[in-house]
Amino acid sequence: MTNNDQFKDLIHQVDPNDVSMIDELIEHKVKRLRRNKHICWLSFPLSSIISLVLVFALLVNLNDKFYVYAVSNPILRPLTQLVNGRQDILSAYDSGYVQLIDKIITVGDYTLEVDSIISDTRSINMFYKVRYQGKLIDEFESAHHPSFEFMTLDGQSISYGYSYRHFENYWWTEVSLKNLNKYEPLNIKFTPDLDLAEQYGELQVNIDQTKVIQPVIVPINKTIVVGGQKLILKSLEMGAFSSQLTTYHDPENEKLLVLIVFKDFTSGVSWDDESLEVNYIYDNFPIGQLNHMNTFSLELKNASVLDRAYETVSFDPKTRTFSSLPEHLTLKEVIVNGNKYEIVLEDHQSVGNQGLMPVKTNAIDDFSWRGETIGLSGINEYHIELEIRDDKIVIFKVLGGTELKVLPGPIIIQLPKTN
């Protein structure tokens, strides 16, 4: 039973214009929450900043009267508008997964006020405010918005993606993490001015493990045949807000499947695999424990096949030749100027990829690539420019093959029921 279920018997008594009545209901629910072993709310006065989080947790998902009250209340309105429509965040609030932080970091003229977080093992949703010279930063002052990063206690970054939202100076950031369980406690590194990277502050956050939404592994273990090759869908790891799909190729396949694109048939969102990895994890499917239906329809949208003999090829700068090339590629010319090389290739069977891609080793530092179509012939020409050290052999990945026109139908995956 959720917090709201316990509170529904009082909804019909509420007059949206009677603030005192709503305050009484809030106090009633606060008392009940403090007796709940799952939601260990601390004692905060309703006039404090942190009360924004506390009170909102009491009001979400109730009837329209409470919503009208929340959007008209100057304390509740920013958070209400921020998460409106995000059922997963609302469910996290209502189920007691919000961890109150109520801490600040001040560096020079900037102050980061962290109100609360919601986390699973791969992400953190942080709700906060930022002040510059005491003034709250809003959307018209983006140049003043400082950066922050989630770090281990020994200074290693564990965050790799950020999504920012705000409403009336109240900010919500979704942070993708490598693995929260391996890096706890953690530090929030607050850098007000990226041009002055040496000026920063740190705030240690001790994660309450009772409020971390642990992943649920959904076994799939289904094999689909794509272009005569077998692709095995192993499992779906469901976090609170998104999931990871793990696939691998049958080792007996004669050809390698590449450029695979999966699609959620219901939402229409696609995930691209532009790698040549045999085992691959597709991150950030927008399907989580708090926002999913009973089933998930997974569709293979695109795929290409690549002959295994050409997963990698080598280029010898002394002879200016490749060890081998796939059938669709032809070496047109090699232009040399000192240790600078321009390799020109023709692609007679493009699948919209990059032909050959140098692997960065001690043979090269960097490279540039450009492509163009020759007249009306439909033949693509690729120019790869790179500097080669000491005439060393350069390894290239082959990013080419044949695009498949016939693909298997959607796969229906049964998902576990939410609590």
Q: What is the predicted pLDDT for the residue at 344?
A: 92
CA separation, residue 127 to residues 56, 83, 133 (Å): 12, 11, 20
Residues 222 and 167 in one domain: no
Residue 415 structure tokens? 């998902």
For 298-347, write each residue's pLDDT tens digit. Answer: 777 778 777 666 678 899 999 999 998 877 788 999 999 998 999 998 87
pLDDT per residue rounded down to tens, the chain (419 residues) = 444 444 444 444 444 455 555 555 555 544 544 334 333 433 444 434 444 444 555 555 444 555 666 666 666 677 767 766 677 777 777 777 888 888 999 999 999 999 888 888 888 888 888 888 888 877 645 555 678 888 888 888 888 777 777 777 788 888 888 766 666 788 999 988 877 888 999 999 888 888 888 888 989 899 999 888 999 989 888 888 888 888 888 889 888 777 677 766 655 555 554 444 444 555 567 678 887 777 777 777 778 777 666 678 899 999 999 998 877 788 999 999 998 999 998 876 554 444 677 877 777 877 887 877 776 666 778 888 988 888 889 998 876 567 788 888 888 887 776 55
Residues 82 and 133 in one domain: no
Which residue segment(s) compose the domain that 3 sits in?
1-86
Residues 139 and 238 in one domain: no
Q: Is residue 273 part of a domain?
A: yes
Q: Is residue 192 part of a domain?
A: yes
CB-CB contact of 358 with 343 (8 Å): no
| Separation CA 90–CA 288 (nearest Å) | 13
CATH number, position 107: 2.60.40.1630
Phi, psi at residue 178, to the nearest 5°?
-70, -50
Within 13 Å of residue 166, how many CA atoms lie on the same side as its CB? Answer: 16
CATH number, position 292: 2.60.40
pTM listed for this prediction:
0.62
Residues 127 and 146 in one domain: yes
For 373-408, write each residue's pLDDT tens digit. Answer: 776 666 778 888 988 888 889 998 876 567 788 888
**139 Rama class: left (phi>0) / alpha (psi -120 to 50) / beta:** alpha
Q: Is residue 409 part of a domain?
A: yes
Q: Is residue 92 part of a domain?
A: no
Residues 107 and 208 in one domain: yes
How many folded domains does the chain comprise?
4
Q: Of the residues 196, 212, 228, which one is the last residue of a structural domain?
A: 212
Residues 284 and 408 in one domain: yes
